Amino acid sequence: MASPSNKAFPVSWDQFHRDARAMAWRLADKGPFQAIVCITRGGLVPAAIVARELEIKLIESVCVASYHDYKSQGELQVLKDIAPSIRAIGDGQGKGVLVVDDLTDTGKTAKVVRAMLPNAHFATVYAKPMGVPTVDTFITEVSQDTWIYFPWDMGLSFQEPIKKGSAG
């Protein structure tokens, strides 16, 4: 996505928590998972919720930066790789590892991480059509031209009506 569009999907903390728990329910019979790798930073919060719900104690992160200015997706950079101890789990290719992120947008980040752990199970809370093929599990699909506003990125402010000029 080039930049935030007029299609906004604001997500409250309550909604995000419910959606992340729904993802944990959906994942409960997909394991067993020995570890979670969260894609930072967006994957940190859902990974914590899923880890609690599925009683997964081993949590690792991989840091892939793509949104450098919160507006446009740029060149991908791996800022922190996955620990060797995670790569040693299962078949050495990710079997038994759950990869968690908040969103798959274009799927570029997921492709980079999937190359690191090709047999891992990939789960995101939200997915856009271009990113859907890169994940195994997601909860809510939104259109490609929708910008998701996560609760950790927002403050309280007035929101314009979707259809302006309507008599109230």
Q: 56 is written with which tokens? A: 């997964």
For this structure, is 153 an active site residue?
Answer: no
Spatial CB neighbours of 42, under 8 Å, sequence gap ≥ 6: 101, 102, 103, 150
Q: 51 is written with which tokens? A: 């880890």
Catalytic, out of 14, 29, 101, 153 = 101
Report the relative pairing of strands 59-67 and 35-40 from DSSP bridges.
Answer: parallel
Catalytic, out of 14, 69, 105, 136 = 105
For this structure, is 102 an active site residue?
Answer: yes
Catalytic, out of 14, 91, 102, 145 = 102
Going through the chain in order, the beta strands assigned E by DSSP cover 7-10, 35-40, 59-67, 73-80, 97-104, 121-127, 137-141, 146-149
List, by residue number, the catalytic residues: 101-102, 105
